[in-house]
Homo-oligomer: A and B are copies of this chain.
């Protein structure tokens, strides 16, 4: 939630000469996106988002991210479309950083989504999984169970500062997840970060999905598990079964789940909760106070993790 790199109007004007977007009218740094610097531009043709990729994004991954957005947009998924430069490229350089210009999606992210919104998100997630099936690039999930172990190694010693019993609990989670993590489930390109702030609505209509910078190849049902965590809990920590059912029904309407996927869902949801708990815990313990990076409280995901430990069947999430 910050602009890490400022851009002068001189270098931005020069950068935009590489595109057929008309003259620059204005640009404002926007307080969204936790990893990159984002600007909302108005040109003579349209509004655009300009993203400068900062240190935490691997430059080698950009063709995957931007290619995926282009692939999905062409398949009818409402997501930002990277604008091609006159030379055909989608990645340029601005202020010494890799940079891309993408179309601006109107819409608002919902601070308090309801069950009908969850249904739309389920549908959109399944549509994304179907549409990405023939995308030819791939990217391994750096935040798989081995990636989680690395985060845990860097925060386990100080986990008690956040929650006294956490270290022992999470050690057990790792043992159970490593032993039971499902093999052979349907896999492909997943969004991997489809939180409410990455889904835009206009009224009750889902108008777009954004922020594909965690997208990778992994289990489709794991992506669904991430959404269950992100969309179906209330602020007080309670699981909302109505939202869970709506999300799952929405998903099933666009892509059926196999019995094995349904059976694996509680373990996948537990893993997904662990994954977000670990990145938040690691950031919480290692990023100095006052840094521009927004730190999110890990305890929200400690509670979710504890919830999933007690789940026996996907029906408890609302699976019809």
Residues of chain A touching chain B, judged by Cβ–Cβ distance below 8 Å, are 1-3, 6, 8-10, 12, 24-32, 40, 42, 47, 104-112, 200-202, 288-291
Contact = CB atoms under 8 A, between A and B. Distances in A.
B31 A28 contact: yes
Contacts of A26: 104-108, 200
* Pairs of residues from A and B, 9 with the lowest C-beta to C-beta distance, nearest first: A290-B290, A29-B31, A9-B108, A8-B111, A25-B106, A28-B30, A289-B290, A3-B31, A26-B106
A9 B110 contact: yes
26 contacts: A2-B31, A3-B31, A6-B111, A8-B111, A8-B112, A9-B108, A9-B110, A9-B111, A10-B112, A25-B106, A25-B202, A26-B104, A26-B105, A26-B107, A26-B200, A27-B108, A28-B30, A28-B32, A28-B40, A29-B31, A30-B40, A40-B40, A42-B47, A289-B289, A289-B290, A290-B290
A17 to B, nearest CB: 14
Nearest to A47: B42
B10 A111 contact: yes
Nearest to A202: B25
A110 B10 CA distance: 8
Contacts of A289: 289-290
Given A29-B31, A30-B30, A289-B290, A24 B108 contact: yes
Nearest to A9: B108
Nearest to A38: B28
A3 B6 CA distance: 17
A31 B26 CA distance: 14
Given A9-B109, A24-B108, 20 more contacts: A2-B31, A3-B31, A6-B111, A8-B111, A8-B112, A9-B108, A9-B111, A10-B112, A12-B108, A25-B106, A25-B107, A26-B106, A27-B108, A29-B30, A30-B40, A42-B47, A42-B106, A288-B290, A289-B290, A290-B290
A195 B12 CA distance: 21
A1 B28 CA distance: 11
Contacts of A201: 9
